Amino acid sequence: MSTGPAHLDDILYPPIEPYETGFLVAGDGQRVYWEQSGNPDGKPVVFLHGGPGAGTSPWHRRFFDPERYRIVLLDQRGCGKSTPHVSEPDADLRFNTTWHLVADIELLRRNLGIETWQVFGGSWGSALALAYAETHPDVVSELVLRGIFTLRRHELEWFYEGGAAAIFPDLWEAYLEPIPVLERSRLIEAYARRLADPDPAVHVPAAVAWTTWEASTLTLLPDPDLVASMAEQQAAVAFARIENHYFLAGGWFREGQLIEDAGAIRHIPTVIVQGRYDVCTPIMTAWDLHRALPEAEFVVVPDASHSASEPGIARALRAATDRFAG
């Protein structure tokens, strides 16, 4: 079992195995993997992974006290253990949108007989957590959010169209490599064409370049193991295809929707954890969300970028779940 980065062993809870696993038959031919671990009679929490398309890992269970939490993980449509996997040649993304995922989460809550639950999400998972909570505010007991991302146009342009190249020009060159010069004014669209190409000689290198760019910038200091794991071909194809599909559509949100609608969730106890030097999802978005949710606890980690595996961020996330465990 992958237990997660070794440097987190003195920060997070010990590794655990699930006591129950299953597949949610979500319609549209989709089967969504879910699992439960920890205490079956504990406080329910659902973990929403990033990407979209990243899937869950066993170490994600370790943010929660297993004696006090009933821990629910799920792999969102098309990734992880969910089927059909988007790396498959005949994968169809028509039924993979934010609102399909929100409906899946709510169906899973009902199927598990959970009345209210804490929602924990980082990066894309923070956007999905906000979308879910704003749609179903009465079933969310608390929110723990990390690396805030809301898919506004300027957020996407910063990281995928050239803004972050000012900080990582060397890595940016590798991201540009699969795209002809004449197509580089609209990189998300240019990548969409290559990722949709049925020829593995076209879509695999594009997926690896897309994912390597992201993986290489997730942490304040380079993490070669993280880059290698995310650049594995099958995982990279699913990750890049789903991300690109969501970003082309702006998450199916109206511009600025998640922050504009945050008034609907001001009553929900919330912790926002943000790395000061986050290049993927810069602190400007977390600050905008904090202004919309002034009652939320806003934790800025001074020596971190984006990843939940960075020690300062991991400590802040565990502190938040421990605070809410009672």
Query: At 194, which amino acid appears?
Result: R
Dihedral of CA 212/214/215/216: which sign? positive
Give Cβ neighbours of residue 284 (< 8 Å, ≥ 6 apart): none
Residue 79 and residue 71: Cα distance in Å, rounded?
20
Give Cβ neighbours of residue 224 (< 8 Å, ≥ 6 apart): none
Is 267 catalytic? The answer is no
Choice among 75, 104, 223, 278 that is catalytic? 278
| Contact status, residue 144 vs residue 274, Cβ threshold 8 Å | no
Residue among 248, 239, 166 nearest 206 (CA): 239
Residue 251 and residue 122: Cα distance in Å, rounded?
16
- A 10 A CB-CB count for 84 gives 14
**Would you state the structure tokens that stand for residue 172, as one six-digit string?**
């940016």
Is 123 catalytic? The answer is yes
CA 220 vs CA 180, 185, 284, 290: distances in Å:
30, 28, 17, 23
Choice among 126, 245, 306, 307 that is catalytic? 306
CA 198 vs CA 22, 87, 179, 189, 237: distances in Å:
31, 10, 17, 16, 12
Give Cβ neighbours of residue 153 (< 8 Å, ≥ 6 apart): 250, 255
Give me the DSSP letters along 20-39: EEEEEEEETTEEEEEEEEE-
Residue 315 and residue 10: Cα distance in Å, rounded?
10
Strands 69-74 and 140-146: unpaired
Choice among 37, 82, 87, 123 that is catalytic? 123
Active-site annotation, residues: 123, 278, 306
